[in-house]
A and B are shown apart, each in its own frame.
Chain A
Amino acid sequence: MVVARPLTEGELDRVFHALADATRRDILSRAIHGEESVSALSRHYSMSLPAVQKHVAVLERAALVTKKRRGREQIVHANGSMIAKAVALLDQYEALWIERADRIADVLAAADVLAPADEGERP
């Protein structure tokens, strides 16, 4: 069950838009695994600093990252709660598939599932 509050339509649209771009997914990934400044992030990509700033802004609007000032630098932090949302949904889907796999095993163990090679076409 989703424990967290469901996302609103607007939030979903922004998250969808933000995650639809490979550079933004990469920026998010880097923000999850470390804390880099916008200028440090920009060195990973063959694009201008303003272009990277735009990508970060899109991620900010989707609430996937936040920026915090540290000295002269803007550090990009991943927003745990929004990412937790994705993780929670994946957890549910994982549970669904584990149960499906277990049911497949049980169906196969039941004696009535025959070797299809001997049966010809099934309906």
Chain B
Amino acid sequence: MTVISTIKDSENLTLTLVADLDATPEQVWAVWEDPRTLERWWGPPTWPATFTRHDFVVGGESRYHMTGPDGETSRGYWQMQAIDKPNRIDFMNGLAGPDGEPAPDMPPMSGHVTFEARGAGTRMTAVSRFLDLAQMETMLGRGMAEGMGEAIGQIDKILATGPA
């Protein structure tokens, strides 16, 4: 079981996910740091993500888009606030406009991810913090919800084909 626990706080609008992964913190770090690897898990199977920029340094930014089944795209960005390899990542995650740049009228949500060595593996704790319900709806509404529950096929594909 990868996911050990989740805590949903509907008053403070936070989600905390704890997962134990069978890899070193450095290896887990790499799936966040390397954009080609990040693309293999960030988007749902039906909305795969493409990172066109990924400056994985403090103050750095990322640009990505997710492509839906009918070719429609949902654009987003990250702003890295803390990068402590291989221990901690703090970043803002927001939606971008058609030009791919941060949408000024939609404030980003924040993500706080920590990695701790546990035996031969790594405990990853990811905390997502939303400002309000409107933001939660918007972040989920653009293509994310649709792709849930379809991960199995993508996993098989990755295992079968090796490098993406």
Contact = CB atoms under 8 A, between A and B. Distances in A.
Interface string B34-52: 1111001110100000000
B16 to A, nearest CB: 9
Interface footprint category on B: 35 or more
A72 interface: no
Nearest to B15: A93
A51 interface: no
Contacts of A114: 30
A98 B18 CA distance: 9
B99 interface: no
Interface residues of B, dominant DSSP: mixed
A31 B146 CA distance: 33
Nearest to A118: B26
Interface footprint category on A: 35 or more
A19 B13 CA distance: 10
Given A20-B132, A89-B140, A111-B162, A116 B27 contact: yes
A104 B124 contact: yes
Contacts of A16: 131-134
Given A15-B134, A90-B15, 17 more contacts: A12-B133, A12-B134, A16-B132, A86-B13, A86-B133, A97-B17, A98-B17, A101-B2, A102-B155, A104-B21, A104-B31, A104-B41, A105-B22, A107-B158, A108-B22, A109-B159, A122-B30
